[in-house]
Amino acid sequence: MSITFYEHSKTFRLDTRDSSYLMAISKYGDLLHLYYGDRIPDEDLSYLIELRDRGFSPNPHEAGNDRTFSLDFLPQEFSTSDSGDYRVESIGVRNADGSRIFAGKAAGHTIYSGKYKVPGMPSVRALEGEGTDTLEIRLKDAASGVSVVLYYGVFEEKNVITRAVRVVNEGEGPIRLEKLMSVTLDFKEANYDWITLDGRHMMERHPSRSAIRNGVQSVGSTRGSSSHQHNPFVILCEKTADEDRGRCYGCSFVYSGNFLAEAERDQYRQLRLNMGIHPTNFEFRLEPGEDFFSPEAVLAYSGNGLTGLSHIYHRLYRENLGTSPYRKLPRPVVINSWEAAYFDFDEEKLLNIARESLDMGVELFVLDDGWFGKRDDDCSGLGDWKVNRHKLKGGLSGLSEQIHEMGLKFGLWVEPEMVSEDSDLFREHPDWHLGIKGRPATRGRYQLVLDLSRKDVCDYIIDSLNRILDEARIEYIKWDLNRNITDVWSGQTDKERQGEVMHRYMLGLYRIMDEVILTHPDVLFCGCSGGGGRFDPAMLYYQPQIWCSDNTDAINRLKIQYGTSFVYPISSLEAHVSICPNHQTGRTVSLATRGIVASGGILGYELNSTVLDREEKELCRKQVEAYKENYALIADGDYYRLTSPFENHYVTAWQHVSANRTQALVSLVLTDTEGNDGQLYLKLKGLKKEAFYRINGDEERRYSGAVLMNAGLPIPGTLKQYEGIQFKLQQIMEGTL
């Protein structure tokens, strides 16, 4: 059992293979945080809590005249509200009497084998036979009757602790939940940096690192999705931490909607980290006996730098997130019709693109937007999930059959959460979208958002998608979301409960995915939201790969894929080779370099194959062959960021290493050059120091892992700007040092 309770010291101890997490119940019943870090053998760390009289820090009633005890400075597992702790709170609740106080005291706990469940929402799951344990701790506010249950899931071998919270109204009147954090993590000192993944549409998940300063810093989303702008993941790390050294803490939020991550350095140079649903547009009414479950947060700790932290999340999300068989299967190499045809196509044009792609080695043809309803541009047709017979005379089934006769599989694009005002669906159900009665609608991409808090709307989407999947042979679905949410108001929800709509939207979305995606395990679902606008663990639960960005420029993608790799496994990054000049930036990069960059994720193509010449198709075929040969290394190997495209303006390089460290794939792109430049070197990582390796099967020379990691390899001076190289290492013998 990885969880222990010591009765004599009232201490809880949670152990993973390499980390320990300790907390204790104070003499007044408060749950105090003691330690999270490298694994330690100690049972009682109460000596770390120094009590002293601090001015203007109130003392709880039960402490009497003990002025040394104040929640204003004590590290907590779940902070009180309006009862003496002035830092950012874990909970905001409006009690039945109108007060906002929550003063929860420990009121029992349970320890059991296995992983707790999060009802109605995705969460990390325990594998069969995997040692996973759960701790539940109940905090009760006796005066209001509000109880909070803290859930801790310990994945011992994965070095992960998951967190979730359930609020229960055990009082006699209704309460309003105004804020709820899935995790609060208190540190006794705040000499840390924090790293967030920030950006915008087409330039997502750029790492931003800054020192924790006095006061509150936060990132989040109120856009109705996890967003292009800020990802629901943060890192706290020592100031000296780098890729290979230093203490690093990660917090990842398994939720696709509005979120908040806030860090506060308080008056005593302590640090509090909160993460949960964003309080904006959130308010949940709980009648007596009702409860509310928060989404899950995933904590990880590494004493071996940022790479060590990434490896923990990569392994967990590859193996324990979702049930799709594609988690363990090679993904097909797709060619997508979007940048080849946009809305301008008919059946013959699509068949020509598919036919001309056969020599490229692709395995699956994806029909993107424009196949349904009256859909000749992005101003009409959304919601009408019936085939446009003017474009596809044989319908989806006819097109799919012809694609399969070529030897390719068939995929399709959908955007089920949206509706166009110029659509049959809108004309029949003008009240089915989110929008405030009496106010003109706010449009995005000239479309409105369907009200997924309504059961009838969800039923329509479920029936429509299941019908599409049943009427044609489809092996791949690209599920898109092309605007953020505004006008959060539902005509079917009482005015006193409008604050529930945004979260109920997410619950509705997860219900749709449960009844469509999970009932079609043989279909590979790919997530998308204008590219990477909803790239989060909850989406990966349903969709094992996500379109990384609408920006297919290979040089921009180096930064996007670099930032994404800090938390998300390479097997989740769908990356395509597109045409040049690039449609987003106008840049021209060689087809060879585009292939190297795209094979840094799940390789595919986003171009018109009918305009490629024979040499270009042959190069694509060789890219696909190399990618498939190295697929296990790319998708399941340990990933190393060799250089940062934000710090090294000359070279961006990365490396995939097999679990037994006998093979490695190294990729490099030269991003800038200077005249008469000095020699550049690339130092590798993750190899066995004492082993010897050959590069690309070269029999003439061997290299020790030690020399490759310490001296490195010279980067060819003949490389020109935007050119790249990729080479494979194979261990040939063990040695001694």
Q: Is the bond preceding 122 in cis, omega lying within 30 degrees of 0?
A: no
Known catalytic residue at 384: no
Measuring CA to CA, which residue among 529, 525, 607 is closest to residue 572?
525
SS3 189: coil
CA 348, chain centre distance (Å): 38
> Which token pair is 99?
């007060």
Catalytic residue among 72, 480, 636, 638: 480
The widest CA-to-CA distance across the chain, in whole angstroms, is 86
Residue 646's Cβ-side half-sphere holds a number of Cα atoms within 13 Å equal to 13
Pairwise CA distance, residues 341 & 366, whole Å: 12
691 in Cβ contact with 733 (< 8 Å): yes
Burial of residue 200, with CB atoms counted within 10 A of its CB: 0-12 exposed, 13-18 middle, 19 or more buried: exposed
R_g (Cα) of the chain, nearest Å? 27
Known catalytic residue at 480: yes
Pairwise CA distance, residues 618 & 669, whole Å: 21
Residues 6+ apart with CB under 8 A from 2: 14, 15, 16, 131, 133, 154, 156
Sign of CA dihedral 376, 399, 356, 524: positive
633 in Cβ contact with 663 (< 8 Å): yes
Measuring CA to CA, which residue among 239, 192, 228, 230 is closest to residue 212?
192
Amino acid at 61: H
SS3 136: strand
Q: How far apart are the first and last CA of the chain?
A: 39
Say how many C-beta atoms besides its own lie within 10 A of residue 696's C-beta.
Answer: 9
666 in Cβ contact with 633 (< 8 Å): no
Q: Sheet with 19-25: list strands edge to edge.
A: 3-6, 11-15, 19-25, 31-38
SS3 318: helix
247 in Cβ contact with 37 (< 8 Å): yes
Residues 6+ apart with CB under 8 A from 198: 205, 206, 207, 208, 219, 229, 230, 231
For 49, 194, 647, the CA distances from 587, given in Å and listed in that order, are 58, 33, 21
602 in Cβ contact with 571 (< 8 Å): yes
> Which token pair is 345?
């196509």
> Which token pair is 478?
């690209």
117 in Cβ contact with 123 (< 8 Å): yes
Pairwise CA distance, residues 150 & 29, whole Å: 15
Catalytic residue among 133, 186, 536, 550: 550
Residues that are catalytic: 480, 550
